[in-house]
Amino acid sequence: MRSLAAFGVLAVAAMTISGCGRGDSTTAPANSTAGTEAATSNPNPNPTEVAPSLPAVPFGYSDLSVPLPPWFTGPGPGGSAVAADNTPASNPTTDAGATLGRVLFYDTRLSSTGTIACGSCHLQSLGFGDTTRFSKGVAGVTARHTMSLANARFYARGHFFWDERANALEDQVLQPIQNPVEMGETLPDVVAKVSASNFYPALFKAAFGTTEVTSARISLALAQFVRSLVSSHSRYDAAFANSTQPNFALLTQEEQQGQQLFAQSGCGACHATNAVIADNIHNNGLDAATTDVGAGNGQFKAPSLRNVGLRSSFMHDGRFATLQQVVAFYDSGVQPNPALDGRLRGPQGVPKRLNLTQAQRDALVAFLNTLTDSTFISDVRFSSPFPKP
């Protein structure tokens, strides 16, 4: 990787690209380490092109710039999050690489119509999930609910999508671009459009040492940005502020009860570590007969529960609209299925019934809401660098 001094040229940050990126434009919280955006005059001779607004000194994304909190690197409940890190040695996250990835993530030119970006369906305000049951693409709606990207880095299996059809994040990030419903573009066309830009050469040079644009480099940069989306500053995390051993007395009595139920009922066995992300694919008994086979036998990957309280659709098909419905399902609605995960089975292999009271269901929901990370959903490092249209 080249020196970050190359970012000095990024002070050209008020140029415009046709079809600028869409997404949530937010401001950094007062205690954010992200810094401030710096825009300068437009030296671009092409008046139809507008560049992203980027700081002269790049934001921090790497672990060297923004170290993981000790409750992620230490043991923590359910094991160490960092031990589940799927970052390959061939693509470590750098400040320059993730900066390039951030711009690409919000650039609508990666779609055939110039109207859809990765950030159009993965909204920062929702923890990088979507508000609708199925997301709108260039040619209709998606077949499954958009999965949240928070803490995607800490899924040890390293496969992506609900059905794990992508073997690595570097594979996943290119598939929506080429999907005819989602972004409907080809990689050669994306490379051509990005190569023709006046501001991307400096970003590619800072990240990779030369200005050459390739689909492989686009893949690497997008993956770096997604892996930088670490949510670790919720009210739940505040209980770990002084130790990897939590002080849950900082939560309300109802939230504490919910945390205990989360651990005792087996929720934490599947949603593991302080990243609160699935440990494997599971058949969770949504249906007695397998209709959508997912990764096989109705098994699906699950996203992190971080910021789950911000969402309005749940499960791979978005069938539930509230957390109360989700908790009620796991309490008494799990369906018998030959492939049902063993942790959801009771005696004689039948689906487990938790027999929770309404007060206990409410407590579980209250605990899940402590995973909302207001710093994460307002951090300018993760917001769209493009001006709102």
Range of the domain at 204: 4-231
Question: pLDDT value at position 164?
Answer: 97
| Residue 385 within a domain | no
Q: Please tell me whether residues 93 and 177 are part of one structural domain.
A: yes
User: CA-to-CA distance for 334 and 352, rounded, in angstroms?
Assistant: 7
CB 225 within 8 A of CB 107: no
| Residue 29 within a domain | yes
Higher pLDDT among residues 60 and 23, named by residue: 60
pLDDT band, residue 244 (cuts 50/70/90): low
| Residue 377 within a domain | no
3-class DSSP assignment, residue 270: helix
Rounded to two decimals, the pTM is 0.88
Q: On the CB side of 196, how many CA atoms lie within 13 Å of its CA?
A: 14
Question: pLDDT value at position 297?
Answer: 94
Among 145-159, 233-247, 375-389, which is the least confidently predicted range?
Answer: 233-247
Higher pLDDT among residues 387 and 29, named by residue: 387
CB 280 within 8 A of CB 158: no
| Residue 382 within a domain | no
Higher pLDDT among residues 32 and 189, named by residue: 189
| DSSP secondary structure of 204-269 | HHHHHSS----HHHHHHHHHHHHHT-----SHHHHTTTT-SS--GGGS-HHHHHHHHHHHHTTHHH
Mean pLDDT of 244-269: 92
Q: Please tell me whether residues 41 and 115 are part of one structural domain.
A: yes
Question: pLDDT value at position 129?
Answer: 94
How many structural domains comprise the chain? 2
| Residue 274 within a domain | yes
Q: Please tell me whether residues 13 and 89 are part of one structural domain.
A: yes
Q: Please tell me whether residues 214 and 272 are part of one structural domain.
A: no
CB 243 within 8 A of CB 235: no
Q: Please tell me whether residues 200 and 242 are part of one structural domain.
A: no
| Residue 376 within a domain | no
| Residue 102 within a domain | yes
Neighbours of 308 (CB within 10 A): 23
Q: Is the pLDDT of residue 8 over 50?
A: no
Distance of CA 191 to the CA centre of its chain: 24
Higher pLDDT among residues 241 and 343, named by residue: 343
Q: Please tell me whether residues 146 and 161 are part of one structural domain.
A: yes
As a whole number, the mean pLDDT across the chain is 88
Question: pLDDT value at position 5?
Answer: 35
Question: pLDDT value at position 245?
Answer: 76
Q: Please tell me whether residues 137 and 249 are part of one structural domain.
A: no
| Bridge partners of residue 50, in order along the sequence | 16
Question: pLDDT value at position 69?
Answer: 93
Indicate which CATH number applies to the domain containing 312.
1.10.760.10
Percent of the chain with pLDDT over 70: 87
Mean pLDDT of 315-330: 97
Tokens of 326: 């989700």
Q: Please tell me whether residues 227 and 243 are part of one structural domain.
A: no
| Residue 286 within a domain | yes
Q: Please tell me whether residues 119 and 216 are part of one structural domain.
A: yes
Q: Please tell me whether residues 159 and 241 are part of one structural domain.
A: no
Higher pLDDT among residues 264 and 290, named by residue: 264
Question: pLDDT value at position 78?
Answer: 75
Residue where a domain terminates, one of 190, 214, 231: 231
User: CA-to-CA distance for 149 and 114, rounded, in angstroms?
Assistant: 23
Residue reference for tokens 């058949």: 283
Q: Please tell me whether residues 25 and 142 are part of one structural domain.
A: yes
Question: pLDDT value at position 96?
Answer: 98
Q: Is the pLDDT of residue 203 over 60?
A: yes
3-class DSSP assignment, residue 331: helix
Could you report the per-residue pLDDT of 89-128, keeping only the tens digit for each?
Answer: 999 999 999 999 999 999 999 999 999 999 999 999 999 9
Q: Please tell me whether residues 42 and 167 are part of one structural domain.
A: yes
Specify the DSSP class assigned to residue 149: -
